[in-house]
Amino acid sequence: MDEQDRALINALQGGFPIAERPFAEVGALLGLAEDEVIARLQRLLDERALSRFGPMVDVDRLGGGLTLAAMAVPPARFEQVAAIVNGFPEVAHNYERAHPLNMWFVVATEDPARVAVVLSEIKAATGLVVLNLPKLEEYFLELKLSA
């Protein structure tokens, strides 16, 4: 990671322009060409220096449903169950944890009632109990880390 990569990461933590050519606008701020901004971001993602680049969407404000779910998956079945769970288009951010509830994932739907249906379908497909952990309160913590 060079100084231009660091400047790019630091600049993008404050927001991303809503524009016809947002990468060109970011580049103009940093003295980089549009294609170089795109190439640098892709390289940072490929190298896993960045885990993700994309918008944060407030599903509730858009009228959708969202929940965190957890499962206790037998280790011998973990990969099989992960493939089943990940096969649902509503599932995102599926992670293994060192905990009795060793699989944690997010379910996001266009219709709030669909969350319960998806969790029920996952239970039926895996034969395992799915713990629904819906958000009770939301807190905003703006965390910016200098690269």
**Residues 39, 123: Cα–Cα separation, whole Å:** 41
**Residues 134, 147: Cα–Cα separation, whole Å:** 33
Architecture of domain 3-46: Orthogonal Bundle (1.10)
Given pLDDT bands bounded at 50, 70 and 90, which one contains residue 54?
confident
Architecture of domain 65-133: 2-Layer Sandwich (3.30)
Which contiguous run of DSSP H or E holds residue 36? helix 34-46
Tens-place pLDDT, residues 87-146:
999 998 889 999 999 999 999 999 999 999 999 999 999 999 999 999 888 777 766 677
Domain boundaries, the chain: 3-46, 65-133
